[in-house]
Chains A and B, each alone.
Chain A
Amino acid sequence: DAGVTQSPTHLIKTRGQQVTLRCSPKSGHDTVSWYQQALGQGPQFIFQYYEEEERQRGNFPDRFSGHQFPNYSSELNVNALLLGDSALYLCASSTDRGYYGYTFGSGTRLTVV
């Protein structure tokens, strides 16, 4: 049974560019959340998607946007990249909007130069 799948695993972008990260949730899961994890820190909540809508959002600027597709997979888009956006981006999936916890993917390491 495949868990949460994220792509790509690593990515290098230049300041000002745009990036799209992808996530396929664990089989049977309908909720996808995105987190940003800076080096040495705990993950920070970006937003959560449920039934193809953004249900909750953390303290991130509008440069961060997302989408959920009918098959529950999701994309995270970041526009006008800044050096400070360099981090590990984690996708987490769950049922019931996360009441029983989340399964995390291995993440996408984004480096902005």
Chain B
Amino acid sequence: EDQVTQSPEALRLQEGESSSLNCSYTVSGLRGLFWYRQDPGKGPEFLFTLYSAGEEKEKERLKATLTKKESFLHITAPKPEDSATYLCAVQAGKDSSYKLIFGSGTRLLVRP
């Protein structure tokens, strides 16, 4: 069964303290792996799409990487405005499936 597991569930950082969020997945033929940011009461906001192992993408203080079993979202020198829930989702390549399978997210709090 296709599955996505994110860790840790919650993470508290001091401003400037770099860290990484993990997304482990099992899927039949990965079509794509997506990272989203979600603020309370809002819809997910797209960050990155990764399609193949070894791929990396960066945006401001965020960098996403992908291996055959997991993805990492690295946050460098975070600021309080980076506080949010970060969601990882995969799209399986089997049976022409285009749905996203989400993990439960990592709640990030960055303290000033």
Contact = CB atoms under 8 A, between A and B. Distances in A.
B22 interface: no
Nearest to A45: B99
B54 interface: no
Interface of A: 4, 31, 33, 35, 40-45, 48, 55-56, 58, 88, 90, 92, 97-107, 109
A35 B102 CA distance: 10
Given A42-B105, A99-B31, A90 B98 contact: no
Nearest to A97: B98
Interface in B46-76: 46, 49
Range class of the B interface residue count: 20 to 34
17 contacts: A33-B98, A41-B104, A41-B105, A42-B4, A43-B44, A44-B102, A45-B99, A45-B100, A48-B99, A58-B99, A88-B41, A99-B31, A101-B49, A102-B100, A106-B41, A107-B42, A107-B43
Contact of B43 (A33, A56, A101, A104): A104
B109 interface: no
